[in-house]
Amino acid sequence: MFDRILIPLDGSPNSEKIRHWVVDLAAELKSAVDLLAVIDPSKLQSVRRYGTASEMAEQSAEELEEEETEYARSYLRTQADWFQERGVTVAGHVVTGDPPEQIITQSYELNAQLIAMTTRRRSTLVRGVLGSVADRVLHAAGIPVLLVRPGDVAGFKDGGGLPGTVVVPIDGSDFSERAIPYAEAIAMSSAGRVLFVNGRAPNASYAQFAMSDPAQMPDHEGGHAAKMNAYLDSLVKRSARHGIQAEFHRSWKTAANAIIESTSESEDRMVVMTSHGASGVRRWLLGSVADTVIRSSEHPILVIPPEHQQVTYRGQSARRP
């Protein structure tokens, strides 16, 4: 599923925490890892490292870029050693340009199936790879993106491990179901389980009006609880036929709060969800819900992109189910 995983790093301890969330999953799925450092020309003056003030003032942009590139290569070699010691095939890449654009470009150039990165900006190597850049990558990537807020915990158990529970938000739409194959594959690799979560629409009355098929996508306040339970139970049984332990949870809380609550029950949980990005006002699983979960949860969030982001790049389709 994820033959190649692209990990942007900026030299900070926070960006490096993504390693612990990815390494065991990569080893289990036999994924190759590509480490990426992006030299941002607009930030070169602020990352000068050597020499006196007068000497640094005389450095040309080309000299600064060459100096920073060599530093980045050395840094990535150290990071690559960490992955190799844990049995993961890894390569390092240093490029120059706008960080989010380069992350997206390299994901296609390297034929990556997943981008994994932290979301808070703490940069000492090449400033600008995290924070707002993570937002831009999330909303432009044509492949799944794994995002983690770098808190005190770096990894599921003992600084590593695999998820014991994969939480899948479901709103009854075919679009939300696109996350299920990814969640099942991860659960199978970790001998874990899948938890389907259904929450209340942010505006229940509007959601009920906007739904094109209320029978298939019943709303809690519309008296269709039994139908939703039956629908969720069918997903559980479908996973069971694949040999995957699964269950469902319905909540009267709003979608984002229901998802966050489900992840907070234990440390070994991750979320796999779809996001409509800038479109999709006809479902409750909107980009705003994904954004809220990403910004509020300390657990890893795997976001499956919408169709309109899955574009063709230089003749190569970005759709990699």
**CATH code of 191's domain:** 3.40.50.620
Decide the pairing of beta strands 4-8 and 114-118. Answer: parallel
Q: Is residue 157 part of a domain?
A: no
Q: Are 199 and 169 in contact (CB under 8 A)?
A: yes
Residue 307 one-letter amino acid: E
- Regarding whether 133 and 9 lie in a shared domain, the answer is yes
CB 299 within 8 A of CB 270: yes
The verdict on 117 and 31 lying in the same domain is yes
Residue at which a domain ends, from 148, 177, 201: 148
Identity of the amino acid at 58: E
Judgement on whether residues 104 and 205 belong to the same structural domain of the protein: no
142 and 178 share one domain: no
pLDDT of 125 = 45
Last residue of a domain, one of 118, 148, 178: 148
- pLDDT at site 45: 60
Asked whether residue 160 is assigned to any structural domain, the reply reads: no
Check residue 226 and give its pLDDT.
85
Residues 123 and 215 in one domain: no
Are residues 41 and 117 located together in one domain of the fold?
yes
> What residues in the chain have per-residue pLDDT under 70?
45-59, 120-131, 152-153, 158-159, 201-224, 276-287, 307-321
159 conformational bin, left if phi > 0, alpha if psi -120 to 50, beta if neither: left
Same-domain status, 140 and 282 = no
How much is the pTM?
Answer: 0.82
What domain range includes position 52?
4-148
Unique residue bearing structure tokens 């060459």? 66
Q: Do 18 and 127 meet the contact criterion of CB atoms below 8 Å apart?
A: no
Give CA–CA dist 115/251, Å, rounded: 31
How far apart (Å, rounded) are the C-alpha atoms in residues 307 and 196? 22
* Residue 275 included in any domain: yes
Cα–Cα–Cα angle for 167, 170, 175, rounded to 5 degrees: 120
Q: Do 185 and 43 belong to one domain?
A: no
